[in-house]
Amino acid sequence: MVLNNIWFLLLIFLFGIYIILDGFKLGAGIIHLGLKSDGERKLSLNALGPVQDFNEPWFIFAVISLFTAFPKIDYSNIIVLFLSILFLLITRTISITLYKKLNSERWNKILDIIFCLSSYIIVLIFGISLGNLISGIPLYNEKEFSGTFLTLLNPYSILTGITAVMFIRMYGKIYLVMNTEGEQQNYVSMDINSSLGMFVIAFLFHAIWTFIAYPVVNKNFIDFPVWFILPAMIVLSIVVIPGFVRSQLYFRAFIASSAILAFCVVITAVDIYPNLIISNPNPENSLTIFNAASSEQTLLTMLFICCILIPAMIVYKVFVYRKFKAKASNIK
């Protein structure tokens, strides 16, 4: 039972790290076509610099760990969802690489669209998936998904997807402001507060809907009120961002936005624990960290592997950030 809980925490950590590290890159992709010129779009890609690579391995490692530690999740057909995301991540990476290699105005326009659309779709898929993770999906007695694709596109999950897009869009803008200079920095910084406002509106609607419509996921908060510190920290992080932007303390604004994302990940974990996939309307069919787990030996072996790989991945990521942390310069 202890191993099951350790693996739940580890998976939250892995997916959380990926979302935080790749979130602002996805945000930069979402606003990519909104930049005023080809020069600004090239500058935006230069600002991504060292963070273009080595984010996807976190996602792949998290997915492999999920299906190895909790193999019965395969029966929910969720693997198709992860393969779709992986395909879009690869497509996005290829578009960025080709953009830098090809010196063709026509191809660059096509690659701009691919980069932007793939980023949008990835965030929407994550958001819609999160919505279904909280609200639950119909599972048979064999714990297999019994709905259709349209079942997943319910109003609550769509609102979750929109809320995710609103936040990631703001997150990407803050990152670009922090890592660019001159006219583009001024242009993007003026729009951060409006993006924050749109996110706050969507977030409030989402929070109220969740609290009213899905009391099951509020159980852990009601039983352990100390968890209410998490939404309080989100509110605090939201409040300080405009002041940081106004004072041009962009790194602090970036840390605050990263904190919002981290707190949202933890809130989701508290909401669903000990479930991995909630069955709605039959909660007894839910996949949990106990009924979907591998053998104790498998969990121990995988934990040993993670203890080696995760520190190595963190050290490499820190090295890359330190080596390539200079701001992008204006492109004439």
- List pLDDT tens digits, range 159-211: 999 999 999 999 999 998 988 876 666 667 778 989 999 999 999 999 999 99
Query: What is the percentage of the chain residues whose pLDDT exceeds 70?
Result: 92
pLDDT at residue 332 in the model: 40
pLDDT at residue 325 in the model: 63
**Residue 174 CA, distance from chain mean position:** 16
Evaluate whether residue 331 is within a structural domain: no
Q: How many CB atoms lie within 10 A of CB 304?
A: 10
- What is the tally of structural domains in the chain? 1
Tell me if the pTM is above 0.85. Answer: yes
pLDDT at residue 52 in the model: 60
Evaluate whether residue 328 is within a structural domain: no
Cα angle value 317/323/329 (rounded, 5°): 115
Contact 168, 123 (CB under 8 A): yes
Contact 279, 137 (CB under 8 A): yes
Query: What is the percentage of the chain residues whose pLDDT exceeds 90?
Result: 62
Q: What is the mean pLDDT of residues 236-264?
A: 96
| Structure token pair of residue 248 | 């041009």
Scanning the chain, the segments in alpha helix (DSSP H) are: 2-30, 38-48, 56-69, 78-101, 105-135, 149-152, 155-178, 182-189, 192-213, 219-223, 229-246, 250-272, 296-323
56-107, pLDDT tens digit by residue? 889 999 999 999 999 988 655 677 888 899 999 999 888 888 887 777 778 8
Of 276, 280, 302, the closest CA to residue 291 belongs to 276
Q: Could you tell me the residue range of the domain that residue 187 belongs to?
A: 2-323
Where does the pLDDT of residue 123 fall: very low under 50, low under 70, confident under 90, or very high at 90 and above?
very high
The C-alpha atoms of residue 192 and residue 187 are separated, in whole angstroms, by: 10
Which residues does residue 42 pair with via DSSP β-bridges, in sequence order? none
Question: Of the spans 16-20, 175-179, 313-317, which averages the highest pLDDT?
Answer: 16-20
Where does the pLDDT of residue 51 fall: very low under 50, low under 70, confident under 90, or very high at 90 and above?
low
135-152, pLDDT tens digit by residue? 999 887 767 787 777 888
Lookup result for tokens 């039983």? 223
DSSP 8-state symbol, 214: -
Residue 139 has φ and ψ, to the nearest 5°, of: -120, 140
Evaluate whether residue 82 is within a structural domain: yes
Evaluate whether residue 330 is within a structural domain: no
Where does the pLDDT of residue 3 fall: very low under 50, low under 70, confident under 90, or very high at 90 and above?
very high
pLDDT at residue 76 in the model: 53
pLDDT at residue 331 in the model: 43
